[in-house]
Structures are given as C-alpha cells and as structure tokens.
Amino acid sequence: MSLFSICRRGALLLILLQVMFATYLHAFTNGKLWMDNSGKHINAHGGNVIKYNGKYYWYGENRPYVGFTTTVGVSVYSSDDLKTWTNEGVALSISNEEGSDIEAGCIMERPKVIYNKKTNKFVMLFHLELKGRGYEAARVAFAESDTPTGPFRFIRSTRINAGIWPFDMKKADRKAAMATDAGKWKDWWTPEWRKETEKGMYLWRDFEGGQMSRDMTVYVDEKGKAYHITSSQENLTLLVSELTDDYLDFTGKYNMIAPGGQNEAPTIMRHDGKYWLICSGCTGWAPNEARMFVSDKIWGPWKQVKSPFKGANATYKDFPASKTFGGQGTYILSVPETDDKGKTVTKYIFMADIWNPEHLSESLHIWLPINFDSEATPEIMWTDKVL
C-alpha cells in the first residue's frame, strides 16, 4: 500500500471518528447531562423553546452549582435542529442596583418567552421572588427585547388581578369567599380548612393586594391572544389570566382551575380542538405524579383525567411513570412537520426537569414525545433517545 493511500485511509478514519463523536455529543439521552456547543451542560431550567425565523431559542433558569437564589439570570441557547445548542449567553440579567426587584439574591423561575407579531417584540414572563423573602412575594415579572437573544429589559413585577373577581364566579360564591378568614386557620389540611380553601379563602385574603403567582406558563392561541397560567392561592389553585395585546399586562379577565387541587408546573397544548393541561403536584424539588386536565375552551370547564404517563421502562434511577419518570414539566413544545404526503403533522414534546437540589445547575432535562392513544388522549412514555 502506498503512503498516499495510507494517509487517505487515516484521514477518512479521522473524519468518521469526528462524525461519530459529534453524533454522540449531540444525541441527547434523557436522564443524562446535555452538552451545549462548548461542552457544558445546558443551564436552562424551567423554561421554554420558541421558533423564530427558522431558528429555535431555548430560554431557562440559569441556576448556580450551589444554592438556589439567582446569581446570573435567564439563559438563552439557539439551535437549527433542536439537537445542537449554541450558548447565546444571558437573555435577562439580574441587576446590580440595590432595591431592584431583580437584584442578586432574588429568585427567577420558570421563564417563558413569546413573540408578539403586532409589536415585533419578544416578551418574557417569569416567576419572581424578591431578595431575602423566600417564596412569599409570589410575583410575575415582565421583560422585553427586540431580538430573541436579548438583552431583555426588565419592566416590572407584580401580584395579579388585584381587586378583581374571576369573571365567571357567581355572586353567591363571591359572598361565600368574603365570609372566609384565612387568618383563623393555624392548622392546614383539616377537612374544615379544605372546605374554606375551596370557597376561595386565599382568593379573598389576597383580593386587594393581588393574587399570588408562582409556577407559570404562557399560551398563545392561533389568533395571537396570550394567556398566563399560574399556580396561585398558596399553590392550591391555578389561575388563567388573559394578557393585553402587547403581552405586557393583564386585561383583568381571569378564572380558576381546580380550586384547592394543589397543582404546580402547568404546561399546556391544544390538539384537535381540545386543550390539554399537564401539571405536577406540590412536593418541592421531589418528583410526584403528573395530573392532566382537558377542556374545549381555555376558560374551561376543565375535567381532570388520568395522568398521561405510562409504561414501565424508565431508566432514570427507576423513577416510574407514577413519578413522572423523575421529572417535573416545564413546557409543551409543538413542532409542526411535513409528512411524506405533504401534510402538516404536529409533534408535541413534553419538556421536563429532573431537579438536583444539591446542584441545581446540573438538574437534568427530559424531553418526551406526547402520543395519542386510541381514544385520542395524550400518553407519555419513557424513551432514552431525544428526538
């Protein structure tokens, strides 16, 4: 064999190894670290993915290796194929200004970015806790940018729907809520406390100052109307609130989902005319069983159905389907694709975090396909390979 052909074979082998290595790096495996273009685990948790001008953008909490308050802000990554992610840096940074709502030591969670076609701006909503106040502030915050990668400008943070009743709450139910007294209940979880809670005890307690807003998502319908869905009333009741046309405020129209049901981590999709809402229970960073609700309209009525998680072949620490395979949802990503016959078929991906409270930056990502069973009900099974 000539020297030339040995060199040629060597070069070919090198290329093959490079391709194999790149494929290995980017073939994301659920329940493992996911590397960005610089070989670092993707530090974007509790977030969402949008597509703009043919490119995907992934936003999420930039979490520290130790501790849980926000030291950086909200991260953004970009991708052409949902598999290879480039770190685009910090989309929204914490502030150095003392007294700012987003000064270092605050907690920024569950950021969601949506694009507003009318204003041509990118709007970020996120759960904000003020520095030094644990989780008691329970606010939603707004930020805006002209470009998908930011920098986003912080606008304000607020409790929501102050002084407004849910639009569909009957007069008699409002009266019953007004007769409750949250200050009276030292012991939670008793049947009497639960009854009062379901009557709207925390809705009434926070009526004047505004409703709490913690875990949250946003949904934009086909007409461009946006809705904020959040865990409110001490994480006991979900609220759906309509956003103004610029997505920078609330219109004041809102209602409740599953009062007293204790749902967190809301995620939502619309498929074949039905809205499906997939949430978690409330167990801090520990996984629990997902809950699912279905409705024909965003304003309900919502009916709770069985958890969509099924199957036994989970491989992350053997967390079963009844523990959401160890994860907690953050977003449902819709990916429209064209099939062989030229028809558009939407693929839905359930994005979740496997929290690692000791090292939050190393919390893992799981992206699982949402399929539909013979009754057109969503089902989610474990797969090792992502996409």
Residue closer to ligand DGJ (CB basis): 36 or 264:
264
CB-nearest residue to ligand DGJ: 284
- Report residue 140: phi and psi, to 5°: -110, 145
DSSP state, residue 326? G
Any idea which residue has 């639960």 for tokens?
A: 194
**Collapsing DSSP states into helix, strand and coil, what is residue 33?**
coil
Residue closer to ligand DGJ (CB basis): 136 or 340:
136
Residue closer to ligand DGJ (CB basis): 110 or 205:
110
Q: How far apart are CA 47 and CA 63, in angstroms?
A: 12
User: From the CB of 140, what's the least distance to ligand DGJ, in Å?
Assistant: 13
User: From the CB of 175, what's the least distance to ligand DGJ, in Å?
Assistant: 33
Residue closer to ligand DGJ (CB basis): 206 or 264:
264
Neighbour tally for 187: CB within 10 Å: 7
Residues that bind ligand DGJ (CB under 6 A): 46, 109-110, 215, 264-265, 284-285, 328
User: From the CB of 46, what's the least distance to ligand DGJ, in Å?
Assistant: 5
User: From the CB of 98, what's the least distance to ligand DGJ, in Å?
Assistant: 25
User: From the CB of 330, what's the least distance to ligand DGJ, in Å?
Assistant: 8
Any idea which residue has 């609700």 for tokens?
A: 293
Residue closer to ligand DGJ (CB basis): 222 or 358:
358
Neighbour tally for 44: CB within 10 Å: 28
> Using an 8 Å Cβ cutoff, are 88 and 78 in contact?
yes
Residue closer to ligand DGJ (CB basis): 145 or 267:
267
**Collapsing DSSP states into helix, strand and coil, what is residue 281?**
coil
Residue closer to ligand DGJ (CB basis): 183 or 284:
284
User: From the CB of 368, what's the least distance to ligand DGJ, in Å?
Assistant: 18
Q: Are strands 107-116 and 121-129 parallel, antiparallel or unpaired?
A: antiparallel
User: From the CB of 235, what's the least distance to ligand DGJ, in Å?
Assistant: 8
Any idea which residue has 């910090």 for tokens?
A: 90
Radius of gyration of the chain (CA): 22
Written in H, E and C, the secondary structure of 189-240 is CCHHHHHHHHHCHHHHHCCCCCECCCCEEEEECCCCCEEEEEEECCCCEEEE
